[in-house]
Structure 1
């Protein structure tokens, strides 16, 4: 059996790949190593995987139709796909909208077109986002909620991926699961995420930018819990005759104030943050909070890592990776 992980040099992709390799799976990683954030971090993640048997990395883009078709023709034994390649970042979608349409919509279609021709494909699991809940105000967010009011282009492209997959599930009976991730954090994380940027600012003595007003909170989900959820779901393919595409939340079951996360960073780093308050951008949600009943009922998955435990683990890695004394 062979598993393809797209976005394999990314944050979640790196951790998922390592977990698969540690249990003896054959894994092909695919990533274009783009410059949205420092590619040196992506290469360092790949360096952590280099010693595993059964691993092969391909530097390629999911929008490359001929390249993807050639890969699948050369690897007809691919039976599962974890599709994590995407253009991430809510606010950056207002700066470079075309990158989001290309990676998250065209890239999704390109992958599905190639995947539907794989003779042994059992399950395709792909990354959606809590951002699809958009302007919804009712908490916690449930998979049955309406998601037709996105508040960012990023959210719109991730919801587009879900709808495109629904069409492919209907037409081609392609077994798929969409995972709506909720603010994933931890070691080897993305530098554009708030917790990472806050850590760098605190250590540099620079201002930490927080949004004005009350209620800013996130369902912070630790990376190890997310990986456990991904692997549990990957093992349980839906029946495409019953579900065109299964949709599941992967979150930590609680919404915690961003200010609490900053306080935990201060404690772990041993320094106080210099706070700067600014108006909240329209593209940012006030709060996120996942109902995970569906994922738990299907797989038994329950996240185990509280923010109070996860942030110190991230800081320990952060200090070592950046060689901070």
Structure 2
């Protein structure tokens, strides 16, 4: 009889966590989640996601913060997870200017608590979420994992880059296999209300203006949630191994001294913000009123992923077109909030 494997997912009631947990449950894993249901955005949305996950007998969740001393150690000791997927974090570039301590506590201290628990009860593979913001001031695109990433532009990005270094040290010292993935502007149904797609859709449907930063001269590598989840699921089986001779192929971000690798997960297509807004207008059948604004502090004008390493490791590349993904989100938004079809041009 094959034993059912256990996956511990932090941030399980979050946008990405919810979709990933659903996929893991469908694939036959026993999923243990943790989420503190923070009020950074609408808690009711998080509770709704959590309630749907709890309909499955293969899912359980603890309501607590990962940075609380002893919480992660107790979870690891009780469940002995085969895989750990660490998604919990204080997110958002702009909010990190207003409340940096929240990022220090959740992102840095929380990750430390997880690494210490993994040191005591080693899983087969740890997969930790980083961000495309880690590339910081780099202007050479598309971003490759082997590029230097030394000049983060926000405290949020700095904390996430710090977790990459922390995880590398634990991978080297204790032989913990770690994959860090850098997300590129994830969007889709059940998304975060603080993200551009959610805010733009709400404002456009209500006839309110939208804030368009850098006067619309922005590019993002928009990655649909189902594509992201598929990539994470495949990366679970791509366990990094420390190279015996320290030799690493030029295109691989594998550490020469640790079972540690960084992988981009992006659509490999930089989309102009104005085209993204046009896709929302088409999906909502409403015209957008634009409030053109200068660049926000800590933001970057463009992100664009080279996802060839993901493809070489898994055989997979994200493929969902922005128009298709935006339309799916708008359909979900209307269904969830009861927004009428159509609007004013």
Please say whether Structure 1 and Structure 2 have the same fold, judged by a TM-score greater than 0.5. Answer: yes
In structure 2, the residue matched to 1:116 is 119
1:92 to 92, 95, 113: 95
Query: What is the rounded CA distance, in whole Å, between the counterparts of 1:269 and 1:195 in structure 2?
Result: 12
In the alignment, structure 1 residue 288 sits paired with structure 2 residue 303 = yes
Deviations 1:107-133 (A, max 9, x none): 0111100111115x1000010000001
Q: CA deviation at 1:73?
A: 1.6
> 200-209 or 45-54: which moved more?
45-54
Q: CA deviation at 1:241?
A: 5.4
Q: CA deviation at 1:282?
A: 2.9
**TM-score, reference length from structure 1:** 0.97
2:179 to 177, 181, 206: 177
1:313 to 313, 325, 328: 328
Report the 3-state secondary structure (helix = DSSP H, G, I; strand = E; otherwise coil) of the residue aligned with 1:116: helix
In the alignment, structure 1 residue 41 sits paired with structure 2 residue 80 = no
In structure 2, the residue matched to 1:264 is 279
Q: Tell me if the contact between 1:207 and 1:275 (Cα under 8 Å) persists in the aligned partners.
A: yes
Deviations 1:62-97 (A, max 9, x none): 112212222222222x11000000000000000000
Q: Tell me if the contact between 1:173 and 1:241 (Cα under 8 Å) persists in the aligned partners.
A: no
**TM-score, reference length from structure 2:** 0.92
Q: How many residues align?
A: 323
> 196-205 or 83-92: which moved more?
196-205
Query: What is the rounded CA distance, in whole Å, between the counterparts of 1:69 and 1:222 in structure 2?
Result: 33
> 223-232 or 39-48: which moved more?
39-48
2:12 to 4, 8, 25: 8
In structure 2, the residue matched to 1:297 is 312
Q: CA deviation at 1:321?
A: 0.8
Unpaired segments ≥5 residues, structure 1: none
Query: What is the rounded CA distance, in whole Å, between the counterparts of 1:235 and 1:52 in structure 2?
Result: 24
Deviations 1:4-26 (A, max 9, x none): 00000001110000000011110
Q: CA deviation at 1:240?
A: 3.9
List aligned pairs for 1:166-245, cutoff 5 A: 166-213=168-215, 215-240=217-242, 243=255, 244=258, 245=260
Q: CA deviation at 1:213?
A: 4.4
Please list every run of at least 4 consecutive aligned residues from structure 1 whose deviation after the TM superposition is greater than 2 angstroms.
Answer: 212-215, 240-244
